[in-house]
């Protein structure tokens, strides 16, 4: 046995919380480390190229898992939810898997989570080009008057300052900037939620059918939600109330809907994102 190596008999190991690696301590065994970290001895051996599973060293760094390279689509999955779970962006998932419609994936489909250097660079280039398009169109408008020509080659923030002028070109720049701002939005996925339904009119409420009741500690009033059903149907609703079901379950939404349109099952599941 080499110095610092140990054949150890203790089965007690402190669990690693949200770690990708574990440092071997005195008294550790590979089996105890696997049990404490929700993995198996075989996976630890594979991830760390261990030759003898009975021999580990105090201070040795062990990887707790091998990085996943694929993901198999399950019922109810969306690309946004998969991106959040795997830490791979939707844009990269689309590029790596040659997806033509980001809203259409099917159960059992195997998605690549990694790509070649070329595909990764292509995704980055596409994202960069899309991000700079509004600024480029704004700067082009600014060149229609001598007062803003020199500003056309500067940053977007400098071009925006030309809106204080009263020339027609400055007005055009303002309109272009406003249009760019109104077309930019982001969404943050909150995962899968249970949906229940109610008819405000039946309950004597005047809130109408554009809203949704939610646990207000999760989604404050006024929060705009994107609700994506498993069949691809998308609803946009604004949180305007809290209901008894949603208040007691942080992963449930009560959707306002006319009684005649409420699904016969009464309860569905959907992927929910916050629109900003």
Q: Where residue 9 falls among pLDDT bands split at 50, 70, 90? A: very low
The domain defined by 5-63 carries CATH number 3.10.350.10: yes
- Mean pLDDT value across residues 113-122: 64
| CATH top-level class of 70-115 | alpha beta
Query: What CATH number is given for 187-275 in this structure?
Result: 2.40.40.10
- pLDDT computed for residue 118 by the predictor: 54
CA angle 132, 133, 138 (to 5 degrees): 100
Are 12 and 27 in contact, with CB atoms under 8 Å apart? yes
Are 7 and 54 in contact, with CB atoms under 8 Å apart? yes
**Residue 31, pLDDT above cutoff 90:** yes
Distance of alpha carbon 85 from alpha carbon 72, whole angstroms: 12
- Which pLDDT tens digit goes with each residue over 48-100? 989 999 999 999 999 887 767 889 999 999 999 999 988 899 999 999 999 99
Cβ atoms within 10 A of the Cβ of 100, count?
6
Distance of alpha carbon 126 from alpha carbon 141, whole angstroms: 23
Percent of the chain at pLDDT > 90 equals: 32
**Which segments of the chain belong to CATH 3.10.350.10?**
5-63, 70-115
**Which segments of the chain belong to CATH 2.40.40.10?**
187-275
Average pLDDT, the chain: 74
Q: Where residue 4 falls among pLDDT bands split at 50, 70, 90? A: very low
- Mean pLDDT value across residues 258-264: 81
Q: What is the Cβ-side half-sphere exposure of residue 150, based on CA atoms within 13 angstroms?
A: 1
- pLDDT computed for residue 77 by the predictor: 94
């Amino acid at each position: 046995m080499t110095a610092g190596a140990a054949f150890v008999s203790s089965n007690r190991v402190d669990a690693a919380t949200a770690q990708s690696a574990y440092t071997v301590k005195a008294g550790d065994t590979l089996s105890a480390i696997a049990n404490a970290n929700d993995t198996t001895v075989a996976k630890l051996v594979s991830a760390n190229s261990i030759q003898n599973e009975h021999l580990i060293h105090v201070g040795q760094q062990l990887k707790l898992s091998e990085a996943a390279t694929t993901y198999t689509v399950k019922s109810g999955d969306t690309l946004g939810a998969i991106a959040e779970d795997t830490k791979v962006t939707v844009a990269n998932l689309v590029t790596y898997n040659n997806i033509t419609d980001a809203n259409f994936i099917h159960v059992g489909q195997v998605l690549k989570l990694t790509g070649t250097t070329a595909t990764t660079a292509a995704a980055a280039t596409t994202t960069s080009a899309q991000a700079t398009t509004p600024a480029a169109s704004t700067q082009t408008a600014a060149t229609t008057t001598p007062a803003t020509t020199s500003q056309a080659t500067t940053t977007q923030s400098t071009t925006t300052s030309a809106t204080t002028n009263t020339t027609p070109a400055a007005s055009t720049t303002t309109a272009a900037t406003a249009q760019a701002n109104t077309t930019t939005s982001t969404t943050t996925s909150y995962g899968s939620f249970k949906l229940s339904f109610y008819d405000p009119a039946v309950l004597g409420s005047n809130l109408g059918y554009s809203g949704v009741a939610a646990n207000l500690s999760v989604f404050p009033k006024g929060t705009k939600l994107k609700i994506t059903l498993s069949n691809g149907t998308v609803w946009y609703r604004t949180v305007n109330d809290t209901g008894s079901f949603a208040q007691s379950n942080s992963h449930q939404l009560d959707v306002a809907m006319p009684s005649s349109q409420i699904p016969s099952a009464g309860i569905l599941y959907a992927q929910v994102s916050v629109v900003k």
